[in-house]
Amino acid sequence: MKELVIFLAKHLVNHPEAVEVKETQGETASVLELKVAKEDLGRVIGKQGRTAKSIRTILNAAASRTNRKVILEIIEEK
């Protein structure tokens, strides 16, 4: 799942070298924390969160094959 998020994020942003994904495994769910460059945050989230929702939909479709749940958190640097 981590590789899928990295692939999708790198193709959306202007600074692919700044894409970082941290994965935390649970019993039935995985939490993926996505960090991108500050100026690319809007590209990953999209208008009214549509892009982020689409990424989550793709992740959940891929995760359902392995009977797992995936939670994507987009981390904003301060």
Query: pLDDT (tens digit, 9 = 90+) per residue, 23-78?
Result: 999 888 899 999 999 999 999 999 999 999 999 999 999 999 988 899 999 998 76
> Looking at the domain that runs over 2-75, which CATH code has it been given?
3.30.300.20
Distance CA 76, CA 78 (A): 6
pLDDT at residue 78, as a whole number: 62
Distance CA 42, CA 24 (A): 24
pTM: 0.89
Please count the other Cβ atoms lying within 10 Å of the Cβ belonging to residue 58. Answer: 15
pLDDT at residue 26, as a whole number: 87
pLDDT at residue 28, as a whole number: 82
